[in-house]
Structures are given as C-alpha cells and as structure tokens.
Structure 1
Amino acid sequence: MKEMIKLLVAQINPTVGAIDYNAKLILDIIKAHSKQHDIILFPELALSGYPPEDLLLRDELHTKISYELKKIQRAAPSCHVILGHPEKKAANIYNTASLFFQGKRYVSYHKQKLPNNGIFDEKRYFTEGEARPGIFTLNDMRFGICICEDLWQEGPFAELLQADIQVLLALNASPFDQEKYAKRVKLLNKLSKNKLMIVYANLIGGQDELLFDGLSMSFDKTGKLKTRAKTLTEDLHSITITKNTIKGELNPLLAKTELLYKALVVAVKDYVHKTKHSAVLVGLSGGIDSALTLAIAVDALGCENVTAVRMPSRYTDSISLIDADLLIHTLKVKSYTLPIESMFNASLATLHEIFRQHSPNIAEENLQARIRALILLGISNKTNQLILTTSNKSELAMGYGTIYGDMAGAFNVLKDIYKTEVYQLANYRNQQSFVIPERILTRAPSAELAFNQKDQDTLPPYDRLDLILKELIENRATLKDLIKQGFQEQEIINIQKTIQRNEFKRNQAPVGPKVSKVAFGRDWRFPICNGWL
C-alpha cells in the first residue's frame, strides 16, 4: 500500500464551447501524466469552458459532451481523473464533477450551491444537486469533492466533514478581480483548520469580460498554505499528499501592478485568439490611454499583429504626433497616418444647413470621433483586424467618450481601469522597458477635439474623481457616506447624475475585462430609463 499520493492539478485554459479542443487538451494531459500521478484534478466545467451560458440550452452541446466523456472515461485506466463538465439528465442540467477510474465513472457529484449574483447566473441554467457528498477512498485516505460555490455557502462543506474526509478536492472557475485571491485564501485557511487538507483547482484565461487567474493551491490541516500554482498561466501543478502532509511548489505572487498588467495582456490575447482573429488596430492619438492600449496589445500579440492608426485633425497638437511616432518606432508596429480634415470639412458642409441654425457645440467634436471610427471600421472590415478601443473606467462612468465614435470597436482592455490606474500601469510598463514617451505621462490629458481642450475643463481632477467613482461603483456608497469622507455634496450629486445619465452609452460599449470588485457589464445592471436621481 502506497503511503504517498501524487496529485496533478491541471490548471488549464479551455475555450467555451470548443468541446473537441478542450477534450483533446484534457486527453493529452491524461496520456502524458497518468502514469506519474494517482489523481489528476481538472477545474470546474473544464470540458465546456466557463461560463457556457445559453450554449447549455442546445441539445447538440450535450450530445458532444457525452461523446467526449466516454473517450475520457476510457483514457483513465490507472489514474483517478476528476473532471468538471455539464451533465444533462432528462429536463435538468447539472454542474457536475465526475471521477473516472479503470474505464468507469465512480463518482458523479452535482454542484449544490449555484451562485446567482454579480457576474453569475447559474440558476438560469443549472439545477441544484442533492445533498449527497462526492466521496472516494484511495490508499486508505478518504477524499471529498465539491465545486466552487459549495465552499462559500453553508451545507455542502458540513456534509463532507460529517463524512470524515481527510482531503477536500475543490473544482473552481473563480473569476479574477484584484481582491479575489485574498478572499480565497482567507476562506480556505478557515476551512482547512477543521483538520482537513484542501486542494483548490482553478481555471486560467480570458472569456469575454471574465478573467480566470489560476493560482490553484493547497492547504494543510493547520490552515497553512503549502503549494500554489502560477498566476494567469497554464500550469500542471504536481503535489504530494500523505496522511499528515501536503507538499509541492509554492510559486510567488505577482506585485499588484504587475498582476494587473499581466491580466490585461492575457485578456487581449485570449479575446483575440478565441474569437479566431490574430491582429488588432489601435487608434493612436498620442495620449496616455491609446499609448497604454498599444503597449498591452504588442505584449499580448506581438508587434507584427498590431497596427497603429494616427488620424490627426486641425486640433491635434504637433507634440501628440511626435509622441505617437516615437511610440510606433519603439514598439515596432505597422502604422498609418490618415488625416481627417477633408472628411471633417465634407461632413460640416453636408450638415451646414442644419448646423448653421445652432451655435457650435459638442456635435462638431463628436463628428471628429465618429469620422475616426469610420476609418478604423473600414480598415477592420477590409483587413479582418479587431479594433481595440481605449476608454478607461473613469471616462466611461462620466460619459466622457463618443458613442459610435471612440467607443466603437471590438474590445476595450481599459474598460475596468480607472484613469489613475492607467498612469500606474504605464509607469510599470516603462520600468520593464521604456516604450511610452515621458511627455505622454506628464502632459495634461486632452481629447483634442477643440483648441486648448483639457479633460479637467469638464471633469474633476482624476485623483479625486476616481476616489468618488470607486466608492459609488464598487462600494455602493451613499451620499452621506461620501460627505463623511470629506467630499463636497454638490460634486457627489453631479457625479451620481452623470453616471446615471450615461447608462445608455455603456450599454452599447464593447466588452472589456473585469478586474475590479464591480465592473461595468455583468456586475452593473442599472435600467437605462429610470427616474432614480
């Protein structure tokens, strides 16, 4: 009887709905590692990818999953393979973890607690499993299986404790945000102090607006973190379990800004590749947001797959062109310079009879942004390159962007990044290698849609604005809460009203990666038409 159990956590990056691809990835890992390991543990819904959403309503998906599960079952003759997958039984669909061994399925556990808040809507698709723990024994050690939310709510964990398990194997698809890792560690530390070893397996990769950061880990019976897989990277994380110990590699954590930058790189890479594209366009103004977006795109896809498009107008400062040119040269990307003056004049001439009846206002400014969008969309349509938009979270909150203009594109990598964070990320990138000209970092930000225009002409200073926005958006702070923190009442009210007034814009904006506690998108579901404020 072996006293030691070798377990492999397969921290993988599946593609939602790509059942053939995901199954091959799983089978290749089983084939390569089953002889060296007693257990291979895959994350939640590894076969379908997470979240499969309305694909779960298609019978063809379940037929394909059933077919691939049979192949995986046959591929596990000498190793215990634990795999997350959807399972349809009659009219019900379950979020399932199955244990395969010696060509048979020994355990089929159905997730009991289905999250239905924030970004999650599992109750739309899945049926809650019965209160029946998934248990198996190997080398006189008793293992229990649970799935993600089962750890966070009362019931399933207590059932496993009553079953006298020694090791808990948790399958997860836990999305990233900047506070999530600490929350996981706090929970797992608490649970493992029940004299229980815990192995936590998580997905990695980008899926639409979600990111999965990996960081699969294990805890010993005293609540001590013993092993940790890599961050935002596929990792085959091997650990050794005995009756009293758990051992393996403890990979280092990334510093806060490094982690955030890498998350954005992974988000761009996976969004582009999983939508079966290879290249992107960035409208490059010479400002901080487009500069950072271009740098992220190059780090994600390589300079050969990124094109910068400069579209100057009469309002473009010469130093913006110089700085954009320096950035293009440093990052070695292909570029076009396409002035918009003739198109702007033609548009003004076409609209003259209507515009002359009104004083100049924001309409003339927005025309420029929409002409630039027209150019980018034309290039995108002709060359099959996706457009990366460049609006940050502060701008999106305040509606400081042009719908069907600079907000038009496929993916917005800065969508959940406040303006102050944009500067932090740009400085971090320059610490790795200097790519963003210093003047871009120090100049006052401007949309350059009018002469001598500055963001702060219409917005509060970003350092103060971002503090208020974070409290309102992520912490659901009230007016009284913010006044107590020292902010001015009228400024808070103005910001609240501006956020609400621009809901229609955000509902038509491209997706972007969620990296904060509350992001615009799945987390943020306010009615467009409402009379709240």
Structure 2
Amino acid sequence: MKIAIAQINPTVGDLTGNAQRILSVAQQAANLGADLLLTPELSLCGYPPRDLLMRPSFIQQMKQQIEALAKALPAGLTALVGLAEDNSAAAAKGEKPIFNSMALLQGGQVAKVFHKRLLPTYDVFDEDRYFESGTEANIFTYETAEESVRIGVTICEDLWNSESFWGRRAYPVDPIQALVGEGVDLVVNLSASPFTCGKQTLRENMIAHAAKQNRCPIVYVNQIGGNDDLIFDGQSVSFNRQGEVVSRAAAFTDDLQLVEFDAIAQDLQPGEIKATLPSADAEIWEALVLGVKDYARKCGFSKAVIGLSGGVDSALVSAIAAAALGPQNVLGILMPSPYSSEHSISDAQQLARSLNITTQTLSIGSLMTSYDAALGEMFTGTESGVTEENLQSRIRGNLLMAVSNKFGHLLLTTGNKSEVAVGYCTLYGDMNGGLAVIADVPKTRVYSLCRWLNRSSEVIPNNIITKPPSAELKPDQTDQDALPDYDTLDDILERLVQKQQSADDIVAAGHSAAVVEKVIGLVTRAEFKRRQSAPVLKVTDRAFGMGWRMPIASRWSLAISKPASETQPALLATDQTLMTSA
C-alpha cells in the first residue's frame, strides 16, 4: 500500500480553495500510484478556524464541500480529509454541536467519519470551546485483492498523551494505546501542530517512542503555512516499528511524499528523508519569512512598509520582509529627527542598498516643532520628559499609517519581545502596524539572527549589529539608560514569561533582587499596551498573543511566589498595578 502524505497550506475559511488544493494534490498522488492520501487536521477549512466554527452555515457548507470532494477524487484513491462535523446528538445529550473530524473518502462517497478524542485547551488551543470529544477508537480497513491493512486514525493531540513518554497523562485515555489494543497494523496522525523553536525534535522523539514501545509504525502529517499569528512548519514524518525515521517532508513548504507499507513485513519501508534545519536561527528565520508571506497573501497585501531607524530591529524585519515579499515590494521610510545620529541615517541607507529595497525620507523636525507649539500652553510649567520623547514616535507612527492607508501597504512593526515585555515601546507610535513580526523574538535572538544572516556575506551592515541600541529620542540615549543589559533582561524574561518562575527562583538563579523586581513591575504594567498590539508571529512556547491571557486591571503581582498562608494574613495586601501612557 502506497501512502501519499500531503503537506498542504490551507487558508482558513476558504472551503472551495482548500478543496481544490486537496483535489490537485490528490491527482498528483494518484499519478504517483498512491492508494491512500493523508491530509492535515481540518484541512478542508484550515486551522484554526476559531469562531467561524460557531456559524451553522460554515459547518453546513463544509458538509456539502466534503461530499463534492469525495465524488471528484481520482478513481481508486482513498483519502482522509479534515473537517468539522455536525454532532446531531448534541441537543439531546447536552453536548457540543460539532466534532473535530477526519472524513474517509472512498468510492465517491464519505464512507466513514472519525472524531478527535483529545481536545487541547492550553496555550493557543481552545478546542473544548467548540468541539465534543470522540469516544471510540478510530479504525478502518484498507482492503484489496492482495492485502488487508487495519489502520488506526488519530488527530493531532491524540498522539500527545503517552504516560511513559511524558511521565504523566493529561487526559484519562491514550488513543494510541487504545488502537494498539485493537490490533491495528498502522497508525496515522493528521495534525495542525504550530511551530515553536525546537519543537520538531520533541515531536520526533515522542513519535519514535510511541512507535517503538507499541511495535507499530506511525505516519504523522502536519499542516504548513501561516494563519494569523500561528505558523505551521510541516516536517511530516514517518517511523517504522523500530522507532526509526523512514520519511520526512520539507520544513516550511508544501510537500507531497510517498511512503510504502509492506503488509507482509507489517512495516513501513524506507522513503525520502529530508534534512531538518541546522540551527535555531535557521528555524526561526524560515518561520518568520513564511509568517509574513502568508499573512500578507491571505489578507490581500502585496507590499509592505517599514520605518527604518538604522537600528537592528528594523534591519531584521526589513530583511524578513524582503525575503517574504520580494525586495521590490518593500518600502522603507527614514524619519530622522534632530536627535537622529548621522550613522543611523547612513546605516539605514546602507541596509536598503544591501537588501535592494526602496526608501523615502520624511524628516520630522518641523512636525516636532508644530506639536510643541500646539501643546505649549497646556504644558506650561511642566518638565519636558517621556511625553515629549514619545511624541516623536507617535509622529512617525502617523506618517507610517498614512503611507499604509494611501498605498495599501501592510505596515510591519519592528518591536522585539524584550521591548514588548517591559513596555519599552510607544502606543500609537512604533507599535502601529498590522503585524508584529519579531515581537516573539528576544533582543539577544535578534542579534543572533542578524549574525546568522551575515554568515556568508554582510546582509545587515556590521555597524548596525555592533553599535549600542538606542531609541534616539533624546541626546546620547541608549536602551541601557532605562533597562538592564539585554543578556540579563532576556534571561529574566525567559524565566518569568516562558518558565513562569517566581521572583525568588529568578533571584536564586543569580540575578539582583532589585533588577528582578523592576523587570516584573515593568512586565505587569505593560499589559495594557500588549493588549493593543498587532498580531504577534509566534516562535516560542510562550508568546504575547492568543496564548497569553493576563488581566489588565489586576492587583496580583507576578512577584508573589508563595501562598498567602505562608507569607501574609488571609486578607493579602498586594501592590496596586499602575499604568503609564508611554
């Protein structure tokens, strides 16, 4: 039996386009002699469809589309296609109205429908909001005159509950063990598993463990593409009964692979094994390029505009945009103020030449003077400070939005994760934009990515990488006037945000208590800014996006690390969260 692994890039909600995509790859698979076609989770509607799932018309049109697709498939080809399936018993049983399902298309009809059993509700996942859990082991038999193969069907999370691998179970049932107990010959897993840096290694270790422990081959199919803030990396992979990789698809691109199941040997035969990416920088780069490319394409943008400051963040975002959209489709706007250094202007111009992108210069000195005059009477008797500094950023933000509106360009914001975490960014200024490209990339990783880009030639001018980072909103300003050095800051933020360590734990790791307290305060107060930011492309386990759901109006301090009974009376007094308008 020849199995075609269709690693495709669906667009959420594009039922007709996605069906055509599946039909096209089905024809390719049939031409290669495939017997069974595998597609990713919710491949017909794209993942994640979010609250589109609450619209009955969306579910009904999906049903019509899957029936039409079944009739249109090449003769002799069996396919598994992901969709949301109506739960007809929902009202009577008090259940959710739909299932997350895989339809078995065979002989011109929907022969059977399998339901996902484990519904993740953590980080970016919210499947229990929409779906009812399946309760049965999903099995079908692929039969020909020569062979009969019992195939177990699992959907994404169904694979992620091995007690022997994780040391615990997150759900009462393990669908893989249930299938093995039913005597299946092969397990397939149809997934839409979002990318985070290093996740493929974890996936492969987990799948290898399951295949080897259960002496059962596993074929894993993953979606690729960017859908809003989530990026899907593909890297579909197959393991034989010994837990050895026998096939792997490409990373961050559409792919169609064939892997053969030998019914006599009861195992998968060796196929094409494509290499994984060589480093974390390479992974993150490919993810961000795909994220920008698909966000623009799927939202109807063909060109992007970026504010070029001569700093390392805007340099990296410009390089990503040029790779994603083509340099001819990227416009860089230089907006020097009286505080802008000469090297910042020259560095930005050198970067533009290196990337071959177009630039325009809009000086803001006269606009600053006009703002000062307009506010002069009201601000009489006050000291000049952060408010006046932020006016520069807001002037620039207005200019960039004007260009975006006038020419239909997608404005890309350039703030990194370190800045977004502590609020070292300006609302309605440098936070303006439609997509926050590197807002899940810490500052230290920004530098690492730029050095990686320059590994063969100088893509990012070296002076941009080596000079002290500065917002240049006042004379001789550097970021470290207000923040710890970025090595220190990023380590504290990783422990606080990603690992969710307490203040005591972070101090015990070697950081100054005063610095830790300051950083925690900044992170807490910046929540209202983050809530107003553009969608953040997710590349880490804990991004400031849909998986980060902190309250804005809160008096709980992230610095508190012990239960009230151990530290204070039951009526626990906590510091009031204060907001700034920076």
- Same fold, judged at TM 0.5 (above): yes
**1:109 aligned to which of 109, 114, 123:** 114
How far off is 1:225 after superposition? 1.6
**2:481 aligned to which of 454, 457, 465:** 457
Query: 2:139, 2:184 within 8 Å by CA — same for their partners in 1?
Result: no
How far off is 1:79 after superposition? 1.0
Which residue in 1 is equivalent to 2:63?
66
Which residue in 2 is equivalent to 1:13?
9
TM-superposition CA deviations, 1:438-479 (whole Å, max 9, x none): 100100000000000000001000011111110111000112
Matches within 5 A, 1:365-444: 365-444=389-468
Which residue in 2 is equivalent to 1:156?
175
In 1, Cα distance between equivalents of 2:112 and 2:187: 14
**1:37 aligned to which of 29, 34, 39:** 34
In 2, Cα distance between equivalents of 1:372 and 1:258: 32
**1:182 aligned to which of 194, 201, 209:** 201
Query: 1:107, 1:136 within 8 Å by CA — same for their partners in 2?
Result: no
How far off is 1:189 after superposition? 1.3
The residue type paired with residue 268 of structure 2 is T
How far off is 1:480 after superposition? 2.0
How far off is 1:302 after superposition? 0.3
In 2, Cα distance between equivalents of 1:426 and 1:359: 39
The residue type paired with residue 87 of structure 1 is E
Query: 1:108, 1:134 within 8 Å by CA — same for their partners in 2?
Result: no
Matches within 5 A, 1:262-281: 262-281=286-305
How many residues end up aligned between the 2 structures?
Answer: 529
In 1, Cα distance between equivalents of 2:380 and 2:246: 71
The residue type paired with residue 170 of structure 1 is N
The residue type paired with residue 126 of structure 1 is F
In 1, Cα distance between equivalents of 2:268 and 2:436: 45
Q: State the secondary structure of the residue aligned to 1:252.
A: coil
447-456 or 158-167: bigger deviation? 158-167
Does 2:234 correspond to 1:234? no
How far off is 1:96 after superposition? 0.5
Query: 1:197, 1:246 within 8 Å by CA — same for their partners in 2?
Result: no
Which residue in 1 is equivalent to 2:140?
135
Which residue in 2 is equivalent to 1:171?
190
In 2, Cα distance between equivalents of 1:264 and 1:157: 33
Which residue in 2 is equivalent to 1:147?
155
Matches within 5 A, 1:228-377: 228-242=248-262, 243-255=266-278, 256-377=280-401
Query: 2:239, 2:268 within 8 Å by CA — same for their partners in 1?
Result: no
Does 2:48 correspond to 1:51? yes
Query: 2:67, 2:110 within 8 Å by CA — same for their partners in 1?
Result: no
- After superposing on structure 2, the runs of 4+ consecutive aligned residues of structure 1 that deviate more than 6 Å are none
Which residue in 1 is equivalent to 2:578?
none
Q: State the secondary structure of the residue aligned to 1:83.
A: strand
How far off is 1:98 after superposition? 1.2
Q: State the secondary structure of the residue aligned to 1:106.
A: strand
331-340 or 447-456: bigger deviation? 331-340
Query: 1:133, 1:159 within 8 Å by CA — same for their partners in 2?
Result: no
212-221 or 519-528: bigger deviation? 519-528
In 2, Cα distance between equivalents of 1:474 and 1:226: 34
In 2, Cα distance between equivalents of 1:474 and 1:64: 40
In 1, Cα distance between equivalents of 2:472 and 2:525: 23
How far off is 1:432 after superposition? 4.6
How far off is 1:329 after superposition? 1.5
**2:123 aligned to which of 107, 118, 123:** 118
Q: State the secondary structure of the residue aligned to 2:516.
A: helix
How far off is 1:133 after superposition? 2.1
Which residue in 2 is equivalent to 1:509?
533
TM-superposition CA deviations, 1:247-297 (whole Å, max 9, x none): 211100112211111111001000100101111000000000001110110
Q: Runs of 5+ in structure 1 lacking a partner?
A: none
The residue type paired with residue 140 of structure 2 is I
The residue type paired with residue 75 of structure 1 is A
Which residue in 2 is equivalent to 1:480?
504
How far off is 1:201 after superposition? 0.2
Q: Runs of 5+ in structure 2 lacking a partner?
A: 91-96, 162-172, 558-582
Query: 1:207, 1:271 within 8 Å by CA — same for their partners in 2?
Result: yes
Q: State the secondary structure of the residue aligned to 2:454.
A: helix
Q: State the secondary structure of the residue aligned to 1:351.
A: helix
89-98 or 377-386: bigger deviation? 89-98
TM-score normalised by the chain length of structure 2:
0.89
The residue type paired with residue 202 of structure 2 is K
